[in-house]
A and B are shown apart, each in its own frame.
Chain A
């Protein structure tokens, strides 16, 4: 095939292209992922029983806020990764910030508490449930996010996969927070942080296979 034939073919009757499709597709996918994660939590785990107490509400909001900041920053970065050569948008460094803040808060909290309590503050009663639930709930939001990124043009597949995993982990952590009754900052920093990082690593490993185009 001659290249000028291909050029003629591609340009014949070319359709106008809608603006902002990449950002919109990712936003829709992440919103859908959030709804799916919350749905799975309601059906599989249920809302925490003490939801009417003030303390429960404060900690619930704190955990959800942490997860949403993680997701929000990651979505902005993913929108940049999905477009070849994009220069606008945030730097990858910003992604680490919410984790650093929650780790710092957790450390301050531990520092103000006698070390005899540290064990229960870090492990809580449900670290294993947290460790298992967040990655499992993250699977479908991950698939939906990957689907949206595939329609764009990521060129760093490991990084795009990792950020898709990070978003899925964050959405899942947000949903799990509605169920989780361990109200301690060190617990959130260690177990929410670790499971989200786990999802990120899984995404990085799967990225090159799932996102190639």
Chain B
């Protein structure tokens, strides 16, 4: 097992336990690796850096929304790689290019590219604006302003469990918006 795998897996296990600092570090590390992976893959299809960033963000959202499917008894790298490859194929299919991505390249998903300030083509404020009022309020309070769930519940006028459900629902809609947007722009 490589050091990267050991380190990332430890961060993931802590994240699943609710450790936000570990989770932030994990997503940060993974986004660098995913960026290098997608840039390399998309270059073969003559696609640019913005498209790679769209995919990085789509996969980060997918990792977040599907993190309950990671079994801590298994290594993390294949889990991330399978999601990244699935989203890449889905993206290429959506944007109508023949998908031809070889298997067995788990090490490539551990490549490096630390351009954390890289931008995708998505405008999060615009996307948030399309969400229902209570959903947007929950995400803004907890996820953008960093308030507690209790505070958000008071501000948005809903229960605490309502805030949690709204955040999950909202992030799911964001993921759906992002994949639809890329389809319209490039399709």
| A8-B118 in contact given A85-B81, A87-B78, A152-B69 (Cβ < 8 Å) | no
> CA A38 – CA B84 in complex, angstroms?
41
* Residues of chain B at interface, number, CB under 8 A: 58
Partner of B69, one of A8, A9, A82: A82
Partner of A11, one of B24, B53, B86, B149: B24
With both beta carbons as reference points, the residue of chain A lying nearest to B24 in the complex is identified as: A11
With both beta carbons as reference points, the residue of chain A lying nearest to B140 in the complex is identified as: A9
Q: Are A10 and B71 in contact (CB under 8 A)?
A: no
Partner of B146, one of A6, A13, A15, A18: A13
| A155-B71 in contact given A3-B118, A13-B149, A14-B18 (Cβ < 8 Å) | no
| Interface assignment of A212: CB less than 8 Å from any CB of chain B | yes
Q: Are A1 and B119 in contact (CB under 8 A)?
A: yes
Interface size bracket, A side: 20 to 34
| A14-B20 in contact given A4-B28, A83-B69, A212-B90 (Cβ < 8 Å) | yes
CB distance from B179 to the nearest CB of A (A): 9
Q: Are A19 and B72 in contact (CB under 8 A)?
A: yes
Which residues of chain B are within 8 angstroms of A153 by Cβ–Cβ distance? 62, 66, 69, 83
Which residues of chain A are within 8 angstroms of B15 by Cβ–Cβ distance? 14
CB distance from A1 to the nearest CB of B (A): 4
CB distance from A200 to the nearest CB of B (A): 22
With both beta carbons as reference points, the residue of chain A lying nearest to B117 in the complex is identified as: A2
CB distance from A48 to the nearest CB of B (A): 42
Q: Are A2 and B119 in contact (CB under 8 A)?
A: yes
| Interface assignment of B42: CB less than 8 Å from any CB of chain A | no
> CA A14 – CA B66 in complex, angstroms?
13
**Those of B47-96 within 8 Å (CB) of chain A:** 53, 56-57, 60-62, 64, 66-75, 77-83, 85-86, 90
Partner of B66, one of A1, A7, A16, A152: A152
| Interface assignment of A12: CB less than 8 Å from any CB of chain B | yes
Which residues of chain A are within 8 angstroms of B118 by Cβ–Cβ distance? 2-3
| Interface assignment of B180: CB less than 8 Å from any CB of chain A | no
Partner of A13, one of B16, B70, B116, B142: B142
CB distance from A160 to the nearest CB of B (A): 12
Most buried by A among B68, B74, B75: B68
Partner of A10, one of B60, B70, B86: B60
> CA A1 – CA B21 in complex, angstroms?
21
> CA A16 – CA B68 in complex, angstroms?
10
Q: Are B71 and A83 in contact (CB under 8 A)?
A: yes
CB distance from B178 to the nearest CB of A (A): 9
Partner of A84, one of B16, B19, B57, B82: B82
Q: Are B24 and A7 in contact (CB under 8 A)?
A: yes
CB distance from A94 to the nearest CB of B (A): 19
- What per-residue 1/0 map shows which CB atoms of B142-166 lie under 8 Å from chain A? 1110111100000000000000100
> CA A86 – CA B143 in complex, angstroms?
30
Q: Are B53 and A13 in contact (CB under 8 A)?
A: no
> CA A72 – CA B111 in complex, angstroms?
40
> CA A88 – CA B78 in complex, angstroms?
12
> CA A178 – CA B121 in complex, angstroms?
58
Q: Are A1 and B69 in contact (CB under 8 A)?
A: no
Which residues of chain A are within 8 angstroms of B143 by Cβ–Cβ distance? 9-10, 12-13
Known: A3-B117, A85-B82; 9 extra A-B contacts, CB below 8 A, are A3-B60, A7-B31, A7-B116, A10-B61, A10-B143, A12-B142, A86-B71, A88-B73, A213-B62
Residues of B within 8 A of A (CB): 15-21, 23-24, 27-28, 31, 35, 53, 56-57, 60-62, 64, 66-75, 77-83, 85-86, 90, 116-120, 122-124, 139, 142-144, 146-149, 164, 171
